[in-house]
Amino acid sequence: MNILIIGSGGREHALAWKIKQSKKAGIIFTAPGNAGTSEIGINLPIGINDFAKIKEAVLFHKISMVIVGPEDPLVNGICDYFRNDSELSHVFIIGPDKYAAQLEGSKEFAKNFMQKYHIPTARFKSFNKDQINEAFLFLNELQAPYVLKADGLAAGKGVLILQDIDEAKTELVQMLDGKFGKASETVVIEEFLSGIEVSVFALTDGKSFKILPEAKDYKRIGEGDTGLNTGGMGAVSPVSFADEVFMQKVEERIIIPTINGIQNEKMDYKGFVFFGLISVKGEPFVIEYNARLGDPETEVIIPRIKSDLLELFIALSNGQLDNYQLTIDDQFATTVMLVSKGYPENYEKGKPIQIGTTNNDIHIFHAGTKVHEKMAITNGGRVIAVTAVGNSMKVALSKSYSMIEKISFEGKNFRKDIGFDL
Ligand code: AMP
Ligand code: GLY
């Protein structure tokens, strides 16, 4: 069967790489893809939100499954577009409908959902421009630090954590005045939770679910989790503190009530749920939901899945998810992201990339790269995820870091301390 993956990051390259290993895979198209996905299948020069062009390509190339990587098209309703179009309704698209994608697209929607289904999360209230006084009163009730969240998608920049109440009030006013455009017309204010974060993933058909390997990502640019937020500088899986006892609590208190809520709200959800969790003294709380897989988490989750991923997706499409036997490798996977000099602020593109020889334990997943005159060149802030597999986190990390020495491009930067806190 021909497959289309939408997106252009390391996540999409990892998905394409894994699906390619299935006997059932036909041609793997990626839109728009990167230099890595172009080696696996065919890149289509189509934007991720250009639904009409995507439809044209799906019909032309006889594609029967579409996997949506990033959140934007999901929040914009790509699944509804496919499921409501008579020419496309035979195509299986993996993702939630537009209504359900609000679990990621609106913090207020997600928090109300968690409250309704008694899912542990930080205490919160949401406010708009007409409620500044109420918002100030709520801030007065809370203790520092203060967490302010733009309701809508803000490219990972919409969350502010402030130590000082006056600063929090000033920022709140600016947010409601459009600091993040429409995304911050509503602001969620919540209690600060102190703990350690972990990303947990489930694949669901809206009734049953399979839990995928968990991962921890490292979002800050600097060592020791300092400096600006990025899309993610590295990840590890499994995560030592997410042991059996913790994961049991996650399943009972968070995953099952979430899936029940999805069913109860009649959401059309055939896709991934990403639970951004925080462990507060061993008790899990939801920080956020995402309606997709994480990046760079996917680059460590996928290599640990032993089962045929395409068969898993086919089982999902046939309503057979419950009967599918998912096998996970208990080895460790780590990934370190190579980024362009200057990222996450201004950076240059177009630098030629040289990659030395790899072996079976190493997977090079391209992110911001493209092919230019038969050569891979940099084309984004996050350039390449260097994944390695080993018997321990330490072994896997040393393989990732040795491989990094064999990759060069001008301005190559990376964090040297992935996994430091585990
Ligand atoms: P979000 O976009 O909701 O994932 O928030 C971005 C980051 O802000 C999270 O990954 C956390 O590190 C931090 N964060 C968000 N909400 C809270 C909270 N209530 N308490 C502590 N940290 C938080
Ligand atoms: N790594 C976090 C995310 O994909 O949102």
Nearest CA to ligand 1 atom 3: 288
Mean pLDDT value across residues 131-139: 95
Mean pLDDT value across residues 315-330: 96
pLDDT at 373: 94
- Confidence band for 142, pLDDT divided at 50, 70 and 90: very high
Phi, psi of 115 (to 5 degrees): -65, -45
Q: Find the distance separating the first CA and the last CA of the chain, reported in whole Å.
A: 41
In the predicted structure, residue 325 carries a pLDDT above the cut 90: yes
- Domains of the chain, CATH where assigned: 2-95 (3.40.50.20), 124-190 (3.30.1490.20)
Nearest CA to ligand 2 atom 3: 294
- Cα–Cα distance, 3 to 242 (Å, whole number): 33
pLDDT tens for 66-101 read 999 999 999 999 999 999 999 998 999 999 999 999
Mean pLDDT value across residues 137-144: 95
Tokens matching residue 223: 């060592």
In the predicted structure, residue 156 carries a pLDDT above the cut 80: no
- Could you identify the residue written with the tokens 């956020």? 288
Instruction: Report residue 348 CA to chain centroid gap.
Output: 25
The answer to whether 120 and 287 have CB atoms below 8 angstroms apart is no
The CB of 190 under 6 Å from ligand 2? The reply is: no
Distance 293 CA to ligand 1 centre (A): 17
pLDDT at 57: 98
The answer to whether 46 and 5 have CB atoms below 8 angstroms apart is no
The structure's pTM equals 0.96
pLDDT tens for 20-31 read 999 999 999 999
pLDDT at 106: 96
- Cα–Cα distance, 129 to 80 (Å, whole number): 31
> DSSP states of 155-195 as a string?
TT--EEEES-HHHHHHHHHHHHTTTTGGGGSEEEEE----S
pLDDT at 157: 83
Give the residues surrounding ligand 1 with Cβ less than 6 Å away. Answer: 122, 147, 149, 159, 190, 192-193, 197, 276, 287-288
In the predicted structure, residue 187 carries a pLDDT above the cut 80: yes
Which ligand has an atom closest to residue 189 CA? 1
Residues 178-200 as b/e (b if ≥16 CB within 10 A, e otherwise) read: ebbeebbbbbbbbeebebebbbb
- Cα–Cα distance, 347 to 340 (Å, whole number): 6
Nearest CA to ligand 2 atom 4: 294
pLDDT tens for 203-241 read 999 999 999 999 999 999 999 999 998 999 999 999 999
Distance 140 CA to ligand 2 centre (A): 31
- Confidence band for 155, pLDDT divided at 50, 70 and 90: confident
- Cα–Cα distance, 245 to 403 (Å, whole number): 35
Distance 146 CA to ligand 1 centre (A): 11
Mean pLDDT value across residues 178-191: 94
pLDDT tens for 240-295 read 999 999 999 999 999 999 999 999 999 999 999 999 999 999 999 999 999 999 99
Helix 132-141 and helix 165-176: axis angle, to 10°?
150
> DSSP states of 300-333 as a string?
HHGGGB-S-HHHHHHHHHTT-GGG----B--SEE
- Confidence band for 126, pLDDT divided at 50, 70 and 90: very high
- pLDDT above 70 covers a percentage of the chain that reads 100
The CB of 297 under 6 Å from ligand 2? The reply is: yes
Mean pLDDT value across residues 357-386: 96
Distance 287 CA to ligand 1 centre (A): 6
The CB of 104 under 6 Å from ligand 2? The reply is: no
pLDDT at 35: 98
Mean pLDDT value across residues 51-71: 98
